[in-house]
Amino acid sequence: MVRRVATVVLALLWAGSVAALATGTVARRPALLALAGTSLLLVVLGMVAVRRRRVPPPPPAVVRAGDRVVGLPPRDPHFAGREDLLAAPPKVITGPPGSGTSSLAFEYAYRSAHEFQFVGVLHASRPELLPDQYAKLAVALGVPADGVVAALADHRPWLLIFDDAGGPADIEHLLPPGGRIIVTSSAPGWNAYTLGGLEEPADFLRRRADLSRKEAGALAETVGDLPLALELAGAYLAETRADPHAYLVRLQTLLVRVPGNIMLALWSLSAQHLRATAPDAYRALEMWSFLGPEPIPLAVFGDLDPDPAVRLGLARTDGVTVTVHPLIQSLVRTAPDVRRRESATSAATALRAHLTDAADEVWRSVLPHVLAVVGRPEVAGDRTVSWLLHHVEFLRGDSVS
């Protein structure tokens, strides 16, 4: 608003300079001509500044506890709100998919890592994989796989986040004592804090996409207050610079076909843009959606660039890994035009190439993704999948089929 007012004032100054130039004496015209030129330049610069999208300031830097942070996914650079919960996070946080339970826990870890001697993130959607994830913690702690609990006692205070857990019976017996634990889940049965939507969704959109109050308010009425939905809408407008009203009309048109499914409508518009402007990135997103929700090492997929998907809010990256939200993965896999078998097979092939002659530690680092892709019905009977299954069974000493 301040920049717009300044631009109007400069425009009036320029207009006055021109008028004075037209009526001034010959002696005064060089000075008036210089004033008019300077005013015009300032007007143009002001208009450019008004039109330029504001870039949100980066989140505060995290002070990491040396190498004692394990498994923390890429940070959400547009995390907003929840300050009361960040000050004192509940032990168990539940909420519907897209409500930001994981983002809240991870943001707390980033902001508070300096307060702990050790920070670990375990992806708990598959309890049978927790022993393998404890093995990763053991490597970081420099102890045998069965020595994690004892080692944590020597690293107090510590923080462990069990992300995307099932019901209490799945993991309660695996929670070690003596430190801070945060569990995120969308499953029933927990005595937990239930996370709602953002309190000021229009304010988020205003900051994220540099919208006016009127534009942000109208869009928030349709998008709602789910953080993931708001991020998709804000990221789309920030990246494409589309007209907010035209974007809202397209959303509302899609919602007529899929009543109440705002996430599907938002995803459809973002997917159309990604496929049209960065087909290789869209292809990569398809493959990543057949893997697990854990961070995916970019080295598995060679030179595929995640940035176009990241800029649209469809993924996050720290330059080493890429993470796709489980709800986005589900929307990709169920899209009517997705190449299911081709995408799943390509993901399995990339994993095999990455894992051929690899050490056990490398296998464990991508084990959730191997198990995710080999479990897809689209690739049943594929030779690459059979190879992966055989090697995983040998690694773990049991059957995962």
Which one-letter DSSP state was computed for residue 61?
P
pLDDT at residue 321 tops 70: yes
| Three-state secondary structure string covering 240-260 | HCCCHHHHHHHHHHHHHHCCC
Q: Considering the entire predicted model, what is its pTM?
A: 0.80
Residues in a beta bridge with 120: 70, 160
Is there a contact between 140 and 100 (Cβ–Cβ < 8 Å)?
no
Helix pair angle (244-257, 213-223), 10° resolution: 10
pLDDT at 396: 65
C-alpha distances out from residue 12 to 5, 17, 47, 196, Å: 11, 9, 14, 48
Is there a contact between 160 and 181 (Cβ–Cβ < 8 Å)?
yes
Q: Cβ of 3: how many Cβ atoms within 10 Å? A: 13
Alpha helices in 89-157 (DSSP H): 101-112, 130-141, 148-153
Burial of 117 (0-12, 13-18, 19+ CB in 10 A): middle
Nearest alpha-carbon partner for 284 in 276, 293, 275: 275
pLDDT at 55: 36
How confident is residue 397, by pLDDT bands cut at 50, 70 and 90? low
* Contacts of 217-222 spanning 24+ positions with Cβ under 8 A: 218/244, 218/245, 218/248, 219/244, 219/247, 219/248, 222/248, 222/251, 222/252, 222/255, 222/262
Measured in residues, the chain has a length of 401
The type of residue at 6 is A
pLDDT at residue 26 tops 60: no
The type of residue at 263 is M
Q: What is the pLDDT of residues 158-181, one digit of tens each?
A: 999 999 999 999 888 888 888 999
Cα-based torsion angle of the residue sequence 363, 369, 375, 376 in order, rounded to the nearest 10 degrees: -140
pLDDT at 361: 81
